[in-house]
C-alpha cells in the first residue's frame, strides 16, 4: 500500500535532509501530521524565512539578515585577525566559545581534487581581495578541519597569504581535554607533540 500523495511528498522532502533516511523521514512526516496546525504553520514560516530573509555577508560570507553581517559591522572586534572557517556553522561554534574576538571568513568548503573542488570553487579569491583592501589585518588563523582536505586547504592559503607579509597560523590539533593518551590514534598524538606548548 502506498502513502497518500501529501504524506509521500513530505517523506521525500524530509529525505533531502542530510542523514535522514526513509524510516526517519516517515517518522517525521507522521509526527508532522500529528502536530497542531499552528505549529505546522510556524514550522513552514520558519523554513520559508530562512530562504527569503537571509543573505550572505559580502565581506566574510556569513549568513545574515543585513549586509554586512553583525560581526563585520562591529568595530569593537579585533580588526587585525581573521579566522578562516570551512562553513558558516563553524562561526557559530567559535562564537559560543566567547574566546575569539576577531573577524571571520567563510570558505564554503575545502579543496578536494577527488570531489573536483578547486580554489575557484571555494571562497578564497574574496579572502585575498579582502586582505589587499584591509591593511589592518595582520594575522590569518586557518581553522579548517583536521582532514587531508582541510590540511591541503590550510597549506594552500598559507602559500598565497604569507608573501604579503601577513602572519598565517593554524588552530592547534591534538589531544582533547579529558582524553587518555592510550586511546588516541597516531595522527592525533603526532599533532599533539608538534603543537606542544611550554608550561
CATH code of the domain containing 121 = 3.40.1360.10
In a domain, 183, yes or no: no
Q: Is the pLDDT of residue 78 over 80?
A: yes
Question: What pLDDT sits at residue 198?
Answer: 63
What does the CA dihedral 165, 171, 173, 175 come to, rounded to 10 degrees? 140
**66 shares a domain with 21:** no
Q: Which of 136, 165, 169 is nearest to 155 (CA)?
A: 169
Q: Is the pLDDT of residue 52 over 90?
A: yes
Enclosing domain of residue 82: 61-170
- pLDDT band, very low/low/confident/very high, at 117 (cuts 50, 70, 90): very high
Cβ 108 vs Cβ 61: under 8 Å: yes
Q: Which residue has the higher pLDDT, 121 or 171?
A: 121
Q: Is the pLDDT of residue 199 over 60?
A: no
- pLDDT band, very low/low/confident/very high, at 180 (cuts 50, 70, 90): confident
Question: What pLDDT sits at residue 21?
Answer: 96
Least confident of 96-105, 167-176, 180-189: 180-189
Question: What pLDDT sits at residue 182?
Answer: 79
**48 shares a domain with 83:** no
**160 shares a domain with 68:** yes
Q: Is the pLDDT of residue 184 over 80?
A: no
Question: What pLDDT sits at residue 197?
Answer: 62
Question: What pLDDT sits at residue 189?
Answer: 79
**106 shares a domain with 32:** no
**164 shares a domain with 93:** yes
**76 shares a domain with 44:** no
What are the grid coordinates assigned to 38, written together?
Answer: 499552528
Least confident of 40-54, 126-140, 165-179: 165-179
In a domain, 76, yes or no: yes
**49 shares a domain with 123:** no
DSSP conformational letter for 109: S
Count how many domains the chain has: 2
Q: What percent of the chain has pLDDT over 90?
A: 80
What are the grid coordinates assigned to 42, written together?
Answer: 510556524
* CATH code, domain with 40: 1.10.8.420
Contacts of residue 157, defined as CB under 8 A and 6 or more positions apart, other chains included, come to 84, 124, 127, 140, 142, 168
Q: Is the pLDDT of residue 147 over 90?
A: no
Q: What is the rounded distance in angstroms from the CA atom of residue 185 to the CA atom of residue 188? A: 5
Average pLDDT rounded to a whole number, residues 144-170: 93
Amino acid at each position: 500500500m502506498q502513502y497518500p500523495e501529501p504524506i509521500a511528498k513530505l517523506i521525500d522532502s524530509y529525505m533531502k535532509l542530510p542523514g535522514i533516511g526513509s524510516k526517519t523521514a516517515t517518522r517525521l512526516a507522521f509526527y508532522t501530521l500529528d502536530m497542531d496546525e499552528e505549529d505546522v504553520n510556524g514550522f513552514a514560516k520558519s523554513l520559508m524565512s530562512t530562504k527569503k530573509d537571509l543573505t550572505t555577508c559580502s565581506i566574510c560570507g556569513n549568513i545574515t539578515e543585513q549586509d554586512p553581517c553583525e560581526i563585520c559591522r562591529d568595530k569593537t572586534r579585533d580588526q587585525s585577525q581573521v579566522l578562516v572557517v570551512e562553513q558558516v556553522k563553524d562561526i557559530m561554534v567559535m562564537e559560543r566559545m566567547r574566546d575569539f574576538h576577531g573577524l571571520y571568513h567563510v570558505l564554503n568548503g575545502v579543496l578536494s581534487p577527488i570531489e573536483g573542488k578547486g580554489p575557484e570553487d571555494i571562497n578564497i579569491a574574496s579572502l585575498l581581495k579582502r586582505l589587499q583592501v584591509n591593511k589592518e589585518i595582520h594575522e590569518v588563523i586557518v581553522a579548517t578541519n583536521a582532514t587531508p582536505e582541510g590540511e591541503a586547504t590550510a597549506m594552500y592559503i598559507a602559500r598565497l597569504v604569507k608573501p604579503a607579509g601577513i602572519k598565517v597560523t593554524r588552530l592547534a590539533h591534538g589531544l582533547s581535554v579529558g582524553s587518555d593518551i592510550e586511546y588516541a590514534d597516531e595522527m592525533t598524538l603526532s599533532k599533539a607533540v608538534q603543537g606542544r606548548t611550554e608550561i
